[in-house]
């Protein structure tokens, strides 16, 4: 099969994802890929086949009542055509060759408990390095392009592409079973599963207006809640579900009438979803009963502190700094240190925040928009407008989603 660059049909670069057709294809991708991998047992083959099916759909202007089912049927045909060309796979192709012509009414195979969750567990096999399996799961399940994955890992694109390629090869060569592992084996994969969902939601959350993929946040939220329900004895699974619920509770307040992102500290808290906040608080209470505090519980506690502003009308920044201190002990890293510096500037003043910011490894943060945005904010508060302009321009140069771009441009405009 001629290999197509899958990125052109991915979550971000699908031709005109703002159109209903483009959005429907992008939204169908995770489920169709999961179903294809479950049957074909070959991740690369599934991705290539989906890319070709999507290209055919767009080029021929296909009209289908059930787009995901059409894509699944067409992709499976293309994959089987490719398998027939492989002499060693001839028998397997013959066995799988029967595909229904009823592409408008066919239902994708349903797995228990969920096809995408099953595939996440497969990709997160302990035989693969943690970062590689997490990156692979983000690409295959969430449809995130390699540059986006590299950015959230604070890594280079070539290095991340290499990790993903090696992870796929490891799965293929090791003959890792494409089935949900028994419950007793879930714990050894849980860290990677949670990290996959965390980073996928991070990408979704950065797109405040949900223009690039309006369904990603909801899908990750659904999967996070499913993991918490399946593993109620795992406090960190409960913590992640709480963290995602708290982030989603602010969706209605994140963009102004001009389409610009509104920072958390400036949001109208009356627009926050009180039911989701209460759901998150209950999850954290449930997790606390196990007396095994982990990073997801701490991150959720930080967001719960922010949520308290809806009741207290103020933010307890001192408590947030302490929570970041605890998080640094559990999961040290440049991004956590960046967030701590921002909180510190609210407690001890902007000078203390800038000092903490300047101590961070800049080589690891230059590709992160939050670093430049935080630095710009502190420079503005310090009266150092020229340095603030430079930081805002740096952030704008990192391809921000439209709502964030408008916010950054507004700040830059106010500086003249």
Cross-strand bridge partners of residue 255 = 261
Nearest Cα to 281, choosing from 296, 267, 301, 298? 301
List the structure tokens of 232: 């109620």
pLDDT for the residue 270 = 94
pLDDT for the residue 7 = 35
- In Å, the largest CA–CA distance within the chain is 72
CA distances for 316 relative to 112, 263, 267, angstroms: 43, 17, 16
**Distant-in-sequence, close-in-space partners of 185: CB < 8 Å, separation ≥ 6:** none
pLDDT for the residue 370 = 92
pLDDT for the residue 15 = 41
CA distances for 59 relative to 22, 53, 62, 63, 102, angstroms: 12, 10, 8, 12, 21
Residue 261's SS3 state is: strand
Alpha-carbon gap, residue 120 to 122, rounded angstroms: 5
pTM of the predicted model over 0.85: no
Residue 114's SS3 state is: coil
Alpha-carbon gap, residue 20 to 214, rounded angstroms: 12
What does 382-401 look like in DSSP terms, one character per residue?
TT-HHHHHHHHHHHHTT---
pLDDT for the residue 252 = 93
pLDDT for the residue 96 = 54
pLDDT for the residue 63 = 75
pLDDT for the residue 102 = 41
Give the ranges where 41-180 is alpha helix by DSSP (H): 43-60, 67-84, 90-95, 115-123, 130-142, 146-152, 157-174
pLDDT for the residue 276 = 96
Residue identified by tokens 């701590």 is: 340
Tell me the pLDDT of the chain (416 aa) as tens digits. Answer: 333 333 333 333 344 444 567 777 877 777 788 778 777 777 888 888 888 888 888 888 777 778 888 888 888 888 888 888 765 545 554 555 544 444 444 444 443 356 777 778 877 878 788 888 888 878 876 677 788 888 778 778 888 888 888 888 877 777 766 666 777 778 888 998 899 899 888 888 888 777 766 677 888 898 899 999 888 999 999 999 999 999 999 999 999 999 999 999 999 999 999 999 999 999 999 999 999 999 999 999 999 999 999 998 899 999 999 999 999 999 998 899 999 999 999 999 999 999 999 999 888 788 889 999 999 999 999 999 999 999 999 999 998 889 999 999 999 999 87
């Amino acid at each position: 099969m001629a290999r197509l660059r899958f990125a052109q049909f991915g979550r971000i670069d699908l031709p005109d994802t703002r159109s209903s057709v483009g959005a429907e294809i992008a939204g169908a991708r995770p489920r169709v890929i999961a179903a294809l991998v479950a049957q074909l047992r070959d991740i690369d083959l599934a991705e290539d086949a989906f890319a070709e099916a999507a290209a055919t759909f767009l080029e021929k202007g296909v009209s289908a009542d059930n787009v995901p089912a059409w894509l699944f049927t067409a992709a499976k045909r293309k994959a089987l055509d490719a398998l027939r060309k492989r002499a060693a796979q001839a028998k397997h192709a013959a066995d799988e060759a029967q595909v229904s012509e009823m592409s408008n009414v066919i239902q994708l195979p349903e797995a228990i408990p969920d096809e995408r969750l099953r595939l996440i567990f497969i990709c997160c096999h302990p035989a693969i390095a943690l970062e590689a399996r997490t990156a692979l799961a983000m690409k295959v399940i969430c449809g995130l392009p390699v540059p986006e994955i590299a950015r959230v890992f604070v890594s280079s694109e070539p290095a991340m592409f290499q990790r993903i390629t090696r992870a796929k090869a490891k799965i293929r060569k090791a003959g890792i079973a494409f089935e949900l592992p028994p419950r007793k084996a879930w714990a050894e994969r849980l860290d990677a599963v949670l990290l996959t969902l965390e980073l996928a939601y991070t990408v979704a959350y950065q797109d405040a207006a949900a223009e690039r993929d309006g369904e990603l946040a909801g899908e990750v939220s659904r999967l996070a809640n499913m993991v918490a329900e399946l593993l109620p004895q795992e406090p960190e699974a409960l913590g992640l579900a709480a963290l995602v619920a708290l982030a989603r509770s602010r969706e209605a307040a994140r963009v102004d009438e001009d389409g610009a992102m509104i920072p958390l500290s400036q949001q109208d808290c009356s627009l926050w979803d009180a039911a989701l906040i209460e759901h998150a608080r209950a999850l954290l209470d449930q997790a606390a009963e196990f007396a095994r505090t982990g990073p997801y519980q701490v991150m959720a506690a930080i967001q719960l502190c922010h949520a308290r502003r809806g009741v207290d009308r103020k933010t307890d920044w001192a408590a947030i700094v302490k929570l970041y201190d605890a998080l640094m002990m559990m999961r040290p890293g440049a991004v956590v240190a960046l967030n701590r510096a921002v909180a510190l500037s609210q407690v001890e003043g902007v000078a203390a925040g800038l000092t903490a910011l300047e101590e961070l490894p800049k080589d690891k943060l230059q590709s992160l928009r939050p670093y430049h945005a935080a630095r710009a904010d502190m420079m503005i508060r310090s009266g150092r407008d020229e340095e603030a302009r430079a930081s805002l321009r740096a952030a704008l140069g990192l391809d921000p989603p439209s709502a964030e771009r408008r916010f950054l441009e507004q700040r830059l405009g106010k500086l003249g």
